[in-house]
Amino acid sequence: MNNLKEGFRYGLISYGIILYLNLLGIPLNFGDIVLTIFSLLIGLLSFAFLRKRPNHLRKNLRNTLVQGLIIGLVSGLGLSIVTYIFASLQKDGINVAQVFAQVKPEHTGALTGLTKEEVLGDVSVLPGLLQLTLLFTFAGFIGSALTQLPVEKLRKQFDSKSGLKTISRALFVLPFFFYGLFMLLKVEGVQIAGTEENNLGMLFIFLFIGAALFALRAVEPGRQKSILVILLVVLMLLLPHFADLKQNAILGVVGIFIVMGIGLNIVVGYAGLLDLGYVAFFAVGAYAYALLSSPESYVVLNLPGFEGVNFWAGLPIAIIIGAFAGFLLGVPVLRMRGDYLAIVTLGFGEIARLLVLNLRDYTGGPGGVINIPAPILFGMDLGNPRDILYIAMAFGLIVTFFTVRLRDSRLGRAWIAMREDEDVAQAMGINLVAIKLLAFASGAAIAGMAGALYATRQVNIFPDNFALDVSINVLSLIIIGGIGSLEGVVLGAIVLIGLPEILRTVDEYRIVAFGALLVTMMIVRPEGILPSTRRKRTLHVHEDSESTSTK
């Protein structure tokens, strides 16, 4: 029974992911092959979930296969129900796109193998949905079956014969090769879409992914991580190309918030300094770049001969000014802890906004700064949403790198020790003043970086862009994702920033949804969706002690 429940839970998580992608309008991007992509994803999720379980469960063949089937079935049925509702509404002439901007009749058609006219007409979507459910179930099953490959044995065999090792590596390249071929054919106008070819295509992709996973597990364990990183980078590079303008714009905002989240995570997650005025540094970075670059800004207009800097020169300046602002605001709050610190920083955040609002002569006041130039690289204008997304990704990678290095260093240890017990940390010879200021400054530097990117993305910035809710959003996303965890920041931003962007049209209700989500999270999973291992342990102390005492 427990077994079914676990499968059901994984199924619901997979369903959540699929639904999110669905509302983001992925079916429109991929047209007829969306089912292939989704099935593939279900297979991968099933594989990932089931592989992570403890050994004795993973080795149980029947158990694993049943769970795989449930994962596929739950997510398939879930998506079918939603799609059926959308289709019925669309048949009745209700425009679902008013609420979910991306859900159009074509969207429903892509999922059910019908055309737009058929969806709106008399053709039933049920056969298509049945096919969808079956495909997902099959995919979940395949994913679970993949976990049963005797990889350890195979790896040993590969290691003993260097020739086979090469083959296993070659297998790893295959999927990309075939995928490229697949896309090429599509571009050339060869119709692979349509239901039958669709399934065939899926079978192919499945074989390739299987081979990739196989190859991944056949290489030495030490190398797996780097291969995963490469896979992820490739995925990230491909992603913006498949997305349309609107999706790229949404993902761009998500990216900027991920960068900010990583920065605030240093201050709140590692150093344990509750900062509610983080938006101040975001504003500082944005205005620093805006004032130095916009031809209409006070600085450019009043400095004779100064034409304004370009993005790549403005960026480091924004970062440095941001860090300096963090340092300055850090000094007066050095001796404050917990609630007091939170209240004071909250005030700072508002002061920053009021300053840019009221220093009319310099910042343009409510009129903001307009015509902020886009980043230009080798003569290419990178101002469009897709390139902004790429820049945001690059920034995300850079700050992740810096953060991980700092976290694992002497400084990171000192931060965490300070979070655990400030007095004892000081008694261990840690200079609290230095590490607090470093935490504030590095967090603020990252916010400054995000701010500069935000300014160039928005072209025109106004004081209202830097209100309290930015601070709260960033804080919420790290709380929901899991305080102190970098993966959590990414996931938190996708859920918390991406979802409201999808539901833009029902803007008024998103704050309500936000609140409900936060409350639910605090009750159900206070450590966040993907907590850092340490934080998870802190928040479940009582359950631990209970479970040990009952045993």
Partner 1 sequence: MVVLSSQGVTKKFGGLVAVNNFDFELPQGMIVSIIGPNGAGKTTFFNCITGFYEIDEGIILFDGLLLNGKSPDKITRMGIARTYQNIRLFANMTVTENILVGAEPHLKSFWFEAIFQTRRVKLEELEAQQDAQRMLNFVGLKGIGDQLARNLPYGSQRRLEIARALASKPKLLLLDEPTSGMNPQESAELMRFIRNLRDELGITILLIEHDMRVVMAISENIYVMDFGTKIAEGTPNEIQRNPRVIEAYLGRGIATGLKTQTAKTKASNQ
- Under rule CB under 8 A, residue 432 binds partner 1: yes
Contact (Cβ atoms closer than 8 angstroms) between residue 51 and residue 116:
no
Pick 145 or 266: Cβ nearer partner 1:
266
∠ at Cα 416 (415, 421), nearest 5°?
A: 100
Residue span binding partner 1 (CB under 8 A) among the ranges 167-175, 253-261, 410-418, 517-525: 410-418
Q: How many other C-beta atoms lie within 10 A of the C-beta of residue 537?
A: 12
Pick 97 or 406: Cβ nearer partner 1:
406
Interface residue with partner 1, options 156, 335, 410, 504 (CB under 8 A): 410
Pick 58 or 413: Cβ nearer partner 1:
413
- State in angstroms the smallest separation of the CB of 394 from partner 1: 17
Residues 111, 102: Cα–Cα separation, whole Å: 13
- Under rule CB under 8 A, residue 54 binds partner 1: no
- Under rule CB under 8 A, residue 409 binds partner 1: yes
- State in angstroms the smallest separation of the CB of 452 from partner 1: 20
| Eight-class DSSP state of 409 | S
- State in angstroms the smallest separation of the CB of 542 from partner 1: 12
Q: How many CA atoms lie within 13 A of 226 on its CB side?
A: 5
- Under rule CB under 8 A, residue 420 binds partner 1: yes
Residues 41, 257: Cα–Cα separation, whole Å: 25
Pick 78 or 531: Cβ nearer partner 1:
531
- Under rule CB under 8 A, residue 417 binds partner 1: yes
CB within 8 A of 15, min separation 6: which ones?
74, 75, 78, 79
Total chain residues near partner 1 (CB under 8 A): 30
Interface residue with partner 1, options 254, 268, 279, 425 (CB under 8 A): 425
Q: Residue type for 62, please?
A: R
Number of residues assigned to the chain: 551
239 vs 69, 243, 262, 386, 390, CA distance in Å? 28, 7, 21, 10, 10
End-to-end CA distance of the chain: 21
Interface residue with partner 1, options 185, 230, 334, 428 (CB under 8 A): 428
∠ at Cα 364 (359, 370), nearest 5°?
A: 150
CB within 8 A of 170, min separation 6: which ones?
none
- State in angstroms the smallest separation of the CB of 540 from partner 1: 11
- Under rule CB under 8 A, residue 115 binds partner 1: no
Pick 268 or 430: Cβ nearer partner 1:
430
Interface residue with partner 1, options 71, 416, 455, 483 (CB under 8 A): 416
Contact (Cβ atoms closer than 8 angstroms) between residue 371 and residue 459:
yes
Pick 117 or 421: Cβ nearer partner 1:
421
Residue span binding partner 1 (CB under 8 A) among the ranges 215-223, 357-365, 451-459, 536-544: 536-544
Residue span binding partner 1 (CB under 8 A) among the ranges 126-134, 305-313, 413-421, 512-520: 413-421
Residue span binding partner 1 (CB under 8 A) among the ranges 26-34, 160-168, 517-525, 535-543: 535-543
Residues 376, 460: Cα–Cα separation, whole Å: 17
- Under rule CB under 8 A, residue 540 binds partner 1: no
Site string for partner 1, 367-406 (x = CB under 8 A): -----------------------------------x--xx
Site string for partner 1, 132-171 (x = CB under 8 A): ----------------------------------------
Pick 304 or 429: Cβ nearer partner 1:
429
Smallest Cα–Cα separation from 533: which of 430, 399, 441, 407? 407
Contact (Cβ atoms closer than 8 angstroms) between residue 443 and residue 270:
no
Site string for partner 1, 505-534 (x = CB under 8 A): -----------------------------x
Interface residue with partner 1, options 235, 523, 524, 541 (CB under 8 A): 541
123's tokens: 């053709």
How far is CA 522 from its chain centroid? 21
Residues 71, 6: Cα–Cα separation, whole Å: 9
Residue span binding partner 1 (CB under 8 A) among the ranges 109-117, 429-437, 466-474, 507-515: 429-437
- State in angstroms the smallest separation of the CB of 441 from partner 1: 10
Smallest Cα–Cα separation from 531: which of 470, 465, 484? 484
Q: How many other C-beta atoms lie within 10 A of the C-beta of residue 280?
A: 29
419's tokens: 């979070």
DSSP symbols for 353-379: HHHHHH-HHHH-GGG-B--PPPPEETT
461 strand-pairing partners: 369
- Under rule CB under 8 A, residue 546 binds partner 1: no
- Under rule CB under 8 A, residue 424 binds partner 1: yes
225's tokens: 């991580």
Residue span binding partner 1 (CB under 8 A) among the ranges 185-193, 315-323, 361-369, 431-439: 431-439
Interface residue with partner 1, options 82, 142, 430, 472 (CB under 8 A): 430
Pick 142 or 479: Cβ nearer partner 1:
479
| Eight-class DSSP state of 380 | E
Residues that bind partner 1 (CB under 8 A): 402, 405-406, 408-414, 416-417, 420-421, 423-432, 438, 534-535, 537-538, 541
